[in-house]
Amino acid sequence: MGACRIQYVLLLSLLGFCPCSDTLNCQDGSLMKFGQNFSKTSIEWIVDRTIALESNKGKMCQETFLLIDVGEKSLILGTKGITTVPGKIKKTDVFSPGPGIVSASYVHFCDTELCNNARSTSVLLNNMKLSEYNEPGTTKCPVCLDFKGSCGRKSNHTLCPKDTKCYATSLGVNGGGLSVSFGIFGCLNSSYTYLLNNRNTIGAIRIKETLESHVTLSSHVLVPSILLTWMFGLLALCLQRSVLC
């Protein structure tokens, strides 16, 4: 009986299944999806592909979600696979809970068989508390969420909530099977400079947030005052004329 078991183990090892090795399988894939209301409604993400870690020394399974919602449009990025970053974690970060743009991430690093097994963004949404502040403001800002270069003058403008300002950035995303840049315009809490807290990594994703100049931003805010100046100038001219006449 004992000998039989040893032979069985030997056979399995010969076949490449060594029950004593520390092989670890992780789900593997990446996701990029534009849509609406991703900060309110979860979306499903089922991954069938797996990747095996030969020796899991210093390696773990990872899953990372990054959510950005500018109001009229939202974006979810996801990646699953292997990480070499040490330390098990399971964490939701809400960088901006609104009002205006919402940004948040979910990062899970774990070391058991197929443990990076979230099937939807509910792992993020369930731990995310959004702002309920909703005072209307007076500043109008362009709103856009698209690939870099696609947000331009044609962007829609929205009346931002009170205590928010116009924000525009290009966000470069690399790693975890993703390599892409986005343009993000919208309203952001006036006391924030960055949408993602000036971070350079989120889980397995490297990010680079490059703020865009305010020139294009303030142009629309300035329009009424320019118009006003122009109207006053015209009025002055008319008055002058009527005095002259």
First-to-last C-alpha distance (Å) of the chain: 120
C-alpha 29/C-alpha 122 separation (Å) is 18
C-alpha 25/C-alpha 213 separation (Å) is 45
Task: Establish if 92 lies at the interface with ligand NAG (CB under 6 A).
Answer: no
Task: Establish if 78 lies at the interface with ligand NAG (CB under 6 A).
Answer: no
Tell which one of 55, 112, 126, 156 touches ligand NAG (CB under 6 A). Answer: 156
Q: How far is the CB of 23 from ligand NAG (least distance, A)?
A: 42
C-alpha 37/C-alpha 75 separation (Å) is 9
Contact pattern from residue 21 through residue 60 relative to ligand NAG, giving x for each residue in contact according to CB under 6 A and a dash for the rest? ---------------xx-----------------------
- Of 120-139, binders to ligand NAG (CB under 6 A) are 131, 133
Q: How far is the CB of 36 from ligand NAG (least distance, A)?
A: 4
Tell which one of 57, 138, 153, 191 touches ligand NAG (CB under 6 A). Answer: 191
Is cis: bond before 99, omega within 30 of 0?
yes
Residue 99: partners with Cβ closer than 8 Å, 6 or more residues away: 131, 133, 134, 161, 163, 164, 187, 189
Tell which one of 42, 120, 157, 163 touches ligand NAG (CB under 6 A). Answer: 163
Please give the backbone phi and psi of residue 8, each rounded to the nearest 5 degrees, phi first: -65, -45
Q: How far is the CB of 46 from ligand NAG (least distance, A)?
A: 20
Tell which one of 94, 123, 189, 217 touches ligand NAG (CB under 6 A). Answer: 189
CB 144 within 8 A of CB 171: no
Q: Among residues 99 and 203, whose Cβ is nearest to ligand NAG?
A: 99
CB 181 within 8 A of CB 173: yes
Tell which one of 22, 54, 72, 113 touches ligand NAG (CB under 6 A). Answer: 72
Buried b (16+ CB within 10 A) or exposed e, 157-189: ebebbeebbbbbbbbebebbbbeeebbbbbbbb
Q: How many chain residues are in contact with ligand NAG, going by CB under 6 A?
A: 11
Residues lying near ligand NAG in the complex (CB under 6 A) are found at: 36-37, 72-73, 99, 131, 133, 156, 163, 189, 191
